Amino acid sequence: MNTQATPTASADETLAQPTAAVIDGKAASARLLKEVTAEVASLAQQGVIPGLAVVLVGEDPASQVYVRNKLKRTVECGMQSFEHVLPSETREAELLALVARLNADPEVHGILVQLPLPTHIQEDAVLEAIDPAKDVDGFHRMNVGALVQGADALAPCTPTGCMRLLRDTFAERGGDLSGLHAVIIGRSNIVGKPMASLLLAANCSVTQLHSRSQNPAELCRQADIVVAAVGRPNMISADWIKPGAVVIDVGINRIAQSAEQSPTGKARTRLVGDVDFAAVSKIAGAITPVPGGVGPMTIACLLANTLTAARRQSA
Ligand SMILES: Nc1nc(=O)c2c([nH]1)NC[C@@H]1CN(c3ccc(C(=O)N[C@@H](CCC(=O)O)C(=O)O)cc3)C=[N+]21
Ligand SMILES: [Mg+2]
């Protein structure tokens, strides 16, 4: 084997390559859940057990997995969980009636209606029906407005989880987010838009890119912080990233995996993010993996929001 490094052929393999720190969302979520668990125990001593209701309409298998994970963590934290699984043909009026019952139930402090809902149900009608004090997803207009104004509100769990990972990453380097340029790719109500509000509140300069943006790669290359939330597997390639940037990958994309690639030898699906991890991790300063990045933080922040909601309702 030729070990003599010729400048062209083997530079990639033999020169020390800067490799991104992999941000451990599982560890960060375990730390947050430990804090939440301790505070749930102290609230329980005052006679209040935080309760989270999760409503799932339909049988989408991916949604069922998330709902099961949420309920498991809820119980592990010492909270009460209330699961409502309704058939996909449930009428909007029936769902609204369930939401009304949960709003009135003093044991329920947080309500999450899993999205997306079947197309015959108007999503925003359901979200607006949830008591804003119990809206642990932060999707009600009242909470969205409060977030945009920088007022105290229940903020959406995925962007809140991203902020925690970013704060920890910069704190480890002895800095903070203030003055940095953040580029968000995506403008959804559940991730992109609230992410912009949270980054602004942390004094970032914020650029929001979307499907109609011109020269997105060029704009993204100016970012100190990249938050990818588009839902397109491996869309963000290495040429979008400035060396040393911190990259948060919100994408959860299930793609087909061939039998040879699978650890079990069976053809299955596998999870990938919106970021081409293999390529970008050679350029970025730090990056979240998928799975094990943002996903676990989302659930931990949901339980932190439920604790906050329970405290406020019992004060
Ligand atoms: N009202 C509402 N609120 C939500 O917060 C909400 C929703 N609807 N609909 C669906 C999406 C999706 N979502 C995830 C949460 C955790 C993981 C998660 O824990 N992911 C693990 C892996 C899970 C796996 O292996 O499938 C990870 O990334 O490591 C993923 C996805 C919350 N959502
Ligand atoms: Mg993840």
Ligand 1 within 6 A of CB of 82: no
pLDDT at 192: 98
Distance 57 CA to ligand 2 centre (A): 24
Distance 293 CA to ligand 2 centre (A): 4
Residues 248 and 138 in one domain: no
Residues 259 and 287 in one domain: yes
- If you take atom 10 of ligand 1, which residue's CA is the nearest one? 115
Q: What is the pTM of this model?
A: 0.93
Would 36 be classed as within a structural domain?
Answer: no
pLDDT at 16: 53
Q: Do 294 and 253 form a contact (C-beta atoms < 8 A)?
A: no
Residues 209 and 90 in one domain: no
Ligand 1 within 6 A of CB of 191: no
Does residue 159 have a cis bond before it (omega within 30 degrees)?
A: no
Residues 230 and 161 in one domain: yes
- If you take atom 3 of ligand 1, which residue's CA is the nearest one? 114
Q: Do 275 and 234 form a contact (C-beta atoms < 8 A)?
A: yes
Residues 82 and 132 in one domain: yes
Give the residue numbers spanning the domain of 184: 156-295
Residues 247 and 268 in one domain: yes
pLDDT at 6: 38
Of 146, 172, 200, which residue constitutes the final position of a domain? Answer: 146
pLDDT at 10: 41
Ligand 1 within 6 A of CB of 127: no
Residues 200 and 275 in one domain: yes
With CA atoms as reference, report the closest residue to 136 among 112, 113, 105, 114. Answer: 112
Ligand nearest to the CA of 231: 1
Which residues pair with residue 267 across a beta bridge? none
Average pLDDT per consecutive 10 residues, the chain (315 residues; last block may be shorter): 40 60 98 98 97 94 86 97 96 98 98 96 98 98 97 96 98 97 98 98 98 98 98 97 98 85 75 97 98 97 98 95
Ligand 1 within 6 A of CB of 227: no
Q: Could you give the dihedral angle defined by the CA atoms of residues 138, 143, 149 and 152, in that order, rounded to the nearest 10 degrees? A: -80
Q: Do 227 and 204 form a contact (C-beta atoms < 8 A)?
A: no
Would 311 be classed as within a structural domain?
Answer: no
3 state SS of 105: coil
252 assigned to a ligand binding site = yes
Q: What is the CATH number of the domain that holds 85?
A: 3.40.50.10860
- ipTM of the prediction: 0.96
Would 187 be classed as within a structural domain?
Answer: yes
Active site residue ranges = 70, 114, 137
Burial of 188 (0-12, 13-18, 19+ CB in 10 A): middle
3 state SS of 273: coil
Would 26 be classed as within a structural domain?
Answer: no
Ligand 1 within 6 A of CB of 233: no
pLDDT at 267: 62
188 assigned to a ligand binding site = yes
What's the CA gap between 16 and 282, in Å, rounded? 11
pLDDT at 11: 43
Residues 179 and 242 in one domain: yes
Residues 263 and 176 in one domain: yes
Residues 108 and 199 in one domain: no
pLDDT at 165: 98
Would 5 be classed as within a structural domain?
Answer: no
3 state SS of 208: strand
Residues 221 and 275 in one domain: yes
3 state SS of 176: coil
What's the CA gap between 125 and 57, in Å, rounded? 15
* Number of domains present in the structure of the chain: 2
